[in-house]
Chains A and B, each alone.
Chain A
Amino acid sequence: GDALCKDCFFWAFEEEIHQVITDGHLFSAGDSVAIGASGGKDSTVLAYTLKLLNERYNYGLQLFLLSVDEGITGYRDDSLETVKRNQHQYELPLTIVSYEDLYGWSMDSIVKQVGLKNNCTFCGVFRRQALDRGAIKVGATKIVTGHNADDVAETVIMNGELLLLQTSGYSFCLPHIWIFCLFLQHIIARLRRCTAITTGAEGYLPRCKPFKYTYEKEIVMYAYFKKLDYFSTECIYSPNAYRLCQTYIKDLEKHPTRSHGVVR
């Protein structure tokens, strides 16, 4: 909640990310890091900042831009044009992997078959795998994504609500308090997993979120004042998928300690 001039804001933003990277031991010298790049604000600022900090503090990282083409006409094809510009602007190599190449179909063809129904759920799963396969293709040892504090808070709230729903459904069948405690442990463990700054299950490359504690507002302001090039349209297949949750988070942010508290 400090008032800063533009240059001080840039410095504070960059130094906070550097602190998160060093405190969390996110990287080791020699790491090949694939930056999940969609052309959106978070991944564009992430690429810019990581490159800057890698040079300023000699992290010793090899950085790549990695994009996934889900085959969404009017959205992904446009955003990929932004990533191609980022490639030249930031002088980072770019690899694009597509659902078409990996799986033999696109989101356009899927939606044509099943309609506008829960598309985000399975698209997210396939994109996660596509990122992994693309990262291995370029020889990366780690993946970074631009998930910010608002995204993490949304994940906590959405998963928390889902798990509470499950719990309330079971609660009348759990007469013994110790069974309930076990269930609570499961909830906490699951929430911890989905919000950890570094994650990496068996067989998958480790991935981390350097923006985990950064407000979306800071990222947008940084991109605006640095005049960074990013794409800003919502996916055509997710009209109001979780807008209610986003609005709730933004409402929370009027009292900053509350939304940050959700993340911490």
Chain B
Amino acid sequence: MALSITVEFSGGAELLCGNVKKHSLNLPKQEHKWKIRDLLVWIRDNMIQERPELFMQGDTVRPGILVLINEADWELMGELEYELEENDRIVFISTLHGG
């Protein structure tokens, strides 16, 4: 069964995916549970339209991009190892701009 989640981009990160902030996704079924680490790769390969190096560095988000899972800092949720659930809301906020 596909996994339905919402992904949002903010703080300028939306520019990497056609200036669209909110996306409803149906992730394809796979053998093991979807983790954030899988989601990042999927987003980079399917949603990022330009400059993927501004979104990911190695196997994680580029330094300066904050990740929220259901309104909580991903550091409290296990970061890359967090296993996605139905209707989860993941937000990516870029901080790499003037203040």
A and B together in one complex: yes
A55 adjacent to chain B (CB < 8 Å): no
Q: Which residues of B contact A220 (CB under 8 A)?
A: 11, 66, 93, 95
Assess whether B63 is in contact with A232, with CB atoms less than 8 Å apart. Answer: no
Residues in B with CB closer than 8 Å to A253 are: 63
A224 touches B96 (CB 8 A): no
**Which residues of chain B have C-beta atoms less than 8 A from A216's C-beta?**
95, 99
State the A residues within 8 Å of B (CB): 3, 6, 38, 40-43, 146-148, 151, 216-217, 219-221, 224-225, 232-235, 243, 246-247, 250-251, 253-254
B64 contacts A247, CB within 8 Å?
Answer: yes
Separation of A51 and B97 alpha carbons in the complex (Å): 24
B97 touches A234 (CB 8 A): yes
Residues of B with C-beta under 8 A to A243:
96
Main secondary structure of the interface of B (DSSP, over half): loop
List B contacts of A247 (CB < 8 A): 62-64
- Measured between C-beta atoms, what is the minimum distance from B34 to chain A in Å? 24
Nearest CB on A from B90, distance (A):
14
Cβ of B12 within 8 Å of any chain A Cβ, yes or no, is yes
Which 4 pairs across A and B sit closest by C-beta, in order of nearness?
A42-B99, A250-B63, A40-B99, A232-B12
Name the distance in Å between A233's Cβ and chain B's nearest Cβ: 6
A147 to B76, CA, bound (A): 27
Give the size category of B's interface with A: 20 to 34
The listed residue (B62, B66, B76, B97) touching A232 by CB distance below 8 A is B97
Q: List 11 A-B contacts (CB under 8 A).
A: A3-B76, A6-B71, A40-B97, A40-B98, A41-B97, A225-B71, A233-B15, A234-B12, A235-B98, A247-B64, A253-B63
Measured in the bound complex, the distance between the Cα atoms of B76 and A251 in whole Å is: 18
- B-chain residues with CB within 8 Å of residue A219 when the two chains form the complex: 99
Name B68's closest neighbour in chain A (CB-CB).
Answer: A224
Contacts of B62 in A (CB 8 A): 247
**B73: interface (CB < 8 Å):** yes
Q: Of all chain B residues, which has the CB nearest A3?
A: B76
Kindly state the separation between the CA atoms of A247 and B68 in the bound complex, as whole angstroms: 20
Among B85-99, those with CB < 8 Å from A are 91, 93-99
In this complex, the member of B91, B93, B95 whose beta carbon has the largest number of chain A beta carbons within 10 angstroms is B95
Chain A residue at smallest Cβ distance from B15: A233
Residues of A near B11 (CB, < 8 A) are 41, 220, 232
Given contacts A41-B11, A224-B93, A232-B12, contact A217 B63 (CB under 8 A): no
Q: Is B10 interfacial (CB 8 A cutoff)? A: yes
In the complex, what's the smallest C-beta–C-beta distance from A142 to chain B, in angstroms?
A: 19
Partner of A234 from the list B10, B76, B98 (CB cut-off 8 Å) is B98
Give the CA-CA distance A219 to B64 in the complex, in Å. Answer: 13
- How close is A68's CB to chain B, nearest CB, in angstroms? 12
Q: Which residue of B lies closest to A42 (CB)?
A: B99
A148 touches B63 (CB 8 A): no
User: Closest CB of chain A to B79's CB: distance in Å?
Assistant: 11
The distance in angstroms between the C-alpha atoms of A148 and B98, with both chains bound, is 11
Q: Which residues of B contact A251 (CB under 8 A)?
A: 63
Question: CB distance B94 to A232 under 8 Å?
Answer: yes
Q: In the bound complex, how far is the Cα of B71 from the Cα of A146, in angstroms?
A: 25
Q: Report which residue of B10, B12, B96 has the largest number of chain A beta carbons within 10 angstroms of its beta carbon.
A: B96
Chain B nearest CB, measured from A242 CB (Å): 11
